[in-house]
Chains A and B, each alone.
Chain A
Amino acid sequence: MTPEIFIQILASGLLMGLIYALIAVGLSLIFGLMDVVNFAHGEFMMLAMYATFGAVLLIAIDPLFLAPLVVAALFVVGATAYLGVVQYAMRAKANLGMVQIFATFGLAVVIRGVAQLLFTPDYRNLPPNLLGGKTVSLGGIYLPLPQLAGGLVSVAAFTGLWLLITKTDFGKALEATREDAGAVALVGIDKNRVFTLGWGLGAALVGLAGAMLAINYYIYPDVGAPFALIAYVVVALGGFGSVFGALAAGILVGLVEAVSAVILPSSLKAVGIYALYLAVVFVRPRGLFGSL
């Protein structure tokens, strides 16, 4: 392997990892807030990709500028999912964990089915746009513009999220609710409202990832599944509920995936990710940055 190839692979892994992190952080946020694993997370991303596709066809401006619109739409989707499904699942008297799993898993199946019905299973691609298919070469290292933009947006989103959580009242309410949802009610925080906003925020973040990914990725009703699988690993690796953990683990997974695709037979590249995950779980069961 020449140094050039090695740097290329690290660069590609880093950019992919930033996207993985952005996909995973919403999942981590929701879990940290209320101990619910959202199995419809990949489907939220798929909806965001279709929303981008539909918006480009309807409004005909560049998908990059449509991202805020898609993020807003996904916020509504997330909040609706909580208000319409999850809050009822939370009221289960017995087997709460199972009920939550089935509720969000069922939601995933329904969203996917409806998407296939409405959008057909055909593979869609955005029409030519500002970034799609374009790439820059820095001394022989190729950086695809859509992924570069995705990586930058991911970094910006993590910065924003950090500010939101540490500097705002909402962030404090979020932290307080995750620490003790019963106690916050006593100080006048509406726990249901925080949960609704939390789900909205989680979906909005994966919506942002979907909007960026849609620029140069094919879109179809099952597109979320392989990404969601990686997101679960990222969340578990980084530590359930940890925002910074999701970022670090996302990048790590991207790098390990890229490197193991070269070192191992490429069909076994997932082995690298899971080996890393297993190693972390053995040494540190709560994940790299988990506080549980």
Chain B
Amino acid sequence: MLSRRRFVQGTALTAAAMAGPARGQAVKEVVIGALYPLSGPSAQIGVDAKTAFETAIEIINTAHADLDLPLAKEAGLPGLGGAKIRIIFADHQGDPQKGRAEAERLITQEKVAAMVGSYQSSVAATISQTAERYSVPFMSADNSSPSLHRRGLKYFFRAAAHDEMFSIIMFDFLDGLRKKGEKIDTLALFYEDTIFGTDSSNVQRKLAGERGYKLVSDIKYRANTPSLTAEVQQLKAGNADVLMPSSYTTDGILLVKTMGELGYKPKAMLCQAAGFSEQALYDAVGKQIENVITRGSFSIDLAAKRPLVGKINELFKARSNKDLNDNTAREFMALLVLAEAIDRAKSTDGGRIRDALAQTDIPGERTIMPWKRVKFDENGQNNDADPVLLQYKDQKFVTVYPEQAAVSPAVWPMFKA
């Protein structure tokens, strides 16, 4: 727990830093806090995120003349006299209360200039509140709940898409198939019981109503449960035309395994990423769901059009022995966007970094994402982060939607009967 004295100290220091003049003098390093689940059920995500950030730091802190990314060309931050970025990792274990405490510790004790996080949207909610209280910017790398940027926070920024944007493209895709004469009338929502799943299902329920799809199952399940038998039994009874899960990795694996055990083969699955972006899930159950489609912010086949993506993937792979995925790509990019703003702010002061972030305008070509550009609205959301739909074919992801980004058309009907 934070002692009162420390709290007062922290507040005083923050206040002093905010009141102080802009110090253009050389800062040796800029400390950024990264909050991730480094232990607990989602530890794998946190450990992979660590590698993504380390890759980003390598690009920022050393010169990479061949990469057209923000801050790649020079070593360190030129705006701060070549200062290096240092990142401090904190483990929130997927627990919103631990996230709050760790954010407080990073700000008051480690004196971080900004923070980045945090995978689970539920934890981002508490971290961003703490960040707001201390006027320290929080860059949400991979949280997708739309409610996060609708709380009037000044210090919250998200370069990637949220689940409303993701769900709209999913329904656009279904509408397109319908127009071509595919029979898609009924949907099944299957979502975990924290902010991520709940928000995702709220958007999907609304869109389904607006666009005339019938929900035959609407199942909120307990995250990280030992058994999903009864839940899958209900999905099977409903047998919707499209099953739409919003699940983290463990539940995603269990869902597919249980479907197999109960002899349920859905007609199609359209997934709200999270677990369905993770290689671990496909290693475990990929064969069963060949041709599954998930939404994404990133696709590795973008490398064919943009060699930059391939180069970054190589750097990342050298460290982790894994390809970049939806999560690690967003984490990598979030740190670059944040560092680029700190460089322009020419300061480690939270308020100035916040103002610089609000001015951010990075064209899509200077990212590794299929985005139009990075530019934040008054809520700190980047509305130009165009999402894509990815289909898992022959053991890799292929971009199938929207058409301008698609590498090949979607295989539909998805699963062979």
Contacts and interface: CB of A to CB of B under 8 A. Distances in A.
B226 A226 contact: yes
Contact of A222 (B39, B225, B226): B39
Given A8-B233, A257-B227, A267 B221 contact: yes
A270 B222 contact: yes
A5 B236 CA distance: 10
A286 interface: no
B233 A12 contact: yes
Given A5-B237, A120-B44, A221-B43, A135 B226 contact: no
Contact of A135 (B219, B231, B237, B261): B261
Interface residues of B, number: 37
Q: Is the interface of B mostly helix, strand, loop or mixed?
A: helix
A126 to B, nearest CB: 9
B229 interface: yes
B220 interface: yes
A291 B40 CA distance: 36
Interface in A195-223: 216-218, 220-222
Contacts of B225: 226, 269
A262 B230 contact: yes
Interface in B216-272: 219-222, 224-227, 229-231, 233-234, 237, 249-250, 253-254, 257, 260-263
Contact of B41 (A5, A220, A258, A268): A220
B283 interface: yes
Contact of B229 (A113, A216, A258): A258
Chain A interface size band reads 35 or more
Contacts of B8: none
B13 interface: no
A266 B253 contact: no
A227 B233 contact: no
Interface in A166-208: none
Interface in A93-144: 112-113, 116, 120-123, 125, 133, 135, 137, 142, 144
Contact of A125 (B40, B220, B283): B283
Interface string B347-360: 00000000000000
A258 to B, nearest CB: 5
B322 to A, nearest CB: 9
A269 B257 CA distance: 20
A112 B39 contact: yes
B88 interface: no
A113 B39 CA distance: 8
A52 interface: no
B253 A222 contact: no
Contact of A123 (B226, B227, B250, B288): B250
A29 B202 CA distance: 46
Contacts of B193: 267
Contacts of B318: none
Contacts of B40: 222
B280 interface: yes
A125 B283 CA distance: 8
Nearest to A113: B39
Contacts of B220: 265-267
Contacts of A270: 222
A144 B262 CA distance: 7
B232 to A, nearest CB: 9
A216 B261 CA distance: 10
B249 A123 contact: yes
Contacts of A123: 44, 249-250, 253, 280-281, 283-284
Nearest to B231: A266
A35 B210 CA distance: 60
Contacts of A259: 230
A9 interface: yes
A246 B365 CA distance: 61
B26 interface: no
Contacts of B47: 120-121
A16 interface: yes
Contacts of A268: 222
A258 B230 contact: yes
Contacts of B233: 5, 8-9, 12, 262
B226 A8 contact: no
Given A5-B233, A218-B284, A262-B230, A142 B39 contact: no
Given A120-B47, A142-B262, A9 B230 contact: yes
Give me the 9 closest cross-chain CB pairs, A-B, nearest first.
A121-B43, A261-B230, A144-B261, A12-B229, A267-B193, A125-B284, A123-B280, A121-B44, A267-B220
Given A5-B237, A135-B262, A259-B230, 13 more contacts: A9-B229, A16-B229, A116-B39, A121-B43, A123-B283, A125-B253, A125-B284, A221-B43, A226-B224, A258-B230, A261-B229, A267-B220, A268-B222
Interface of A: 2, 5, 8-9, 12-13, 16, 112-113, 116, 120-123, 125, 133, 135, 137, 142, 144, 147, 216-218, 220-222, 225-227, 230, 257-259, 261-262, 265-270
28 contacts: A5-B237, A12-B230, A13-B229, A16-B227, A123-B249, A123-B280, A125-B283, A133-B261, A133-B288, A135-B261, A142-B261, A142-B262, A217-B257, A218-B253, A218-B254, A218-B280, A220-B41, A221-B39, A222-B41, A226-B224, A226-B225, A227-B226, A257-B227, A262-B233, A266-B230, A267-B193, A268-B222, A270-B222
